[in-house]
Amino acid sequence: MVKRLLNDSPREMLSLASRELFQAIKMSEGRIVIGDARVRGCNLVQYVCNAEVCAAFGSDIVAINAYNPQRPIFPGLPSKNPEDDEPFREIQVPIGRGWSAREVRALIGRPLMTSLLAAPSYGGGMVDTGFTEAKGDTIAGAALITKKNVELVVEQGFDILALYGWCEEKDLIEHVRETKKLVGDRILIESGVPHGPGLIYAKNSPYQLRDLIGPDYAIKLVKAGADIIQIPAVGSLPGFTPEHVGAIIDAVHAEGALVTVGIHNSQEGTDIETIRRIAIDNKTLGADMQMLGDAGLNENMGLPETIMALCIALKGHRHTYRRMTESVMR
């Protein structure tokens, strides 16, 4: 029998099929936290990968961000072949080559999520901090939505595949539709616009940022096959007022899907009082999950103390401390 993800032990969480995971999240009544752990960049804590830190500070689900399924790495873990870490010895960052997502999933005892991006259509090319060009099948460090990458994500053991896009509505909707046909119920699909285009490809993005996604767009994504819709959290992006976010959440719930609100835009590195306010404001509106992004200090993960503060605000000390301390062997 499926119970709340909130109450599942690590082993129980990892045993859930996709529809069971969906139901377990839904039953948790807005108390599920997703910690974003970037792998295109250094690890925050020396010799520990970011996914381990996110799990250790209370995250129920860990999102492996800027992940390339064709070239997986998990900085902070020692590479299976020590020679792979030699070029990085002087900066003391083992790159974790040779580890699979399935192994990391078992290591931290949490369901894993990752994202693929739709090619941008706002114009302006790709502008990213320090690296100004897109290369091959990646953009902004993340892999593009292709049949090959979708199949690899499923094969590698991820529980949730997020399809995001700062692009024309019809393009992202079609990606969701085609991906759903390909994966069926093998993996949950999240889609949406989690934050503004920022430095990525902002040349022709709408001036009024709430135009990035609204109730009608969200409903179209659900009808195309998305199980979960991610939108910016109230207080995280200009224009995303309680009225706007609440309308999207109500519309998505009416279609039988779930909503993740994303705390991005560098607020991953804010003070814990701000995180608590965002947490309660969005829980009040009915958000099923809240995701703390990866731009804490250096675009690797949110500050550990903000992850814990978000968890405590949403699910109290008892559920947070249990999630932090329960052995992955349980």
23-46 confidence digits (pLDDT tens) = 999 999 999 999 999 998 889 999
Work out whether strand 258-263 and strand 289-292 pair parallel, antiparallel, or are unpaired: parallel
Give CA–CA dist 64/84, Å, rounded. 21
pLDDT above 70 coverage of the chain, percent: 91
Cβ atoms of 162 and 230 within 8 Å: the answer is yes
Residue 298 CB coordination number (10 Å): 13
**pTM for the complete prediction?**
0.93
Q: Does the pLDDT value for residue 17 go beyond 90?
A: yes
Instruction: Locate the domains of the chain by residue range.
Output: 5-325
Q: Which pLDDT tens digit goes with each residue over 48-71?
A: 999 999 999 999 999 999 999 999
DSSP 298-311: SSSB--HHHHHHHH
DSSP annotation of 267 reads G
- Diameter of the chain by CA atoms? 54
- 119-174 confidence digits (pLDDT tens): 776 554 454 444 444 555 666 567 889 999 999 999 999 999 999 988 889 999 99
Q: Report the distance separating Cα 156 and Cα 294, nearest Å.
A: 22
Cβ atoms of residues 200 and 166 within 8 Å = yes
Structure confidence at residue 174 (pLDDT): 96
Token pair listed for 11: 């082993």
Superfamily of domain 5-325: Aldolase class I (3.20.20.70)
What are the structure tokens assigned to 188, written together? 């949950």
Residue-level pLDDT at 124: 44
pLDDT of residue 142: 73
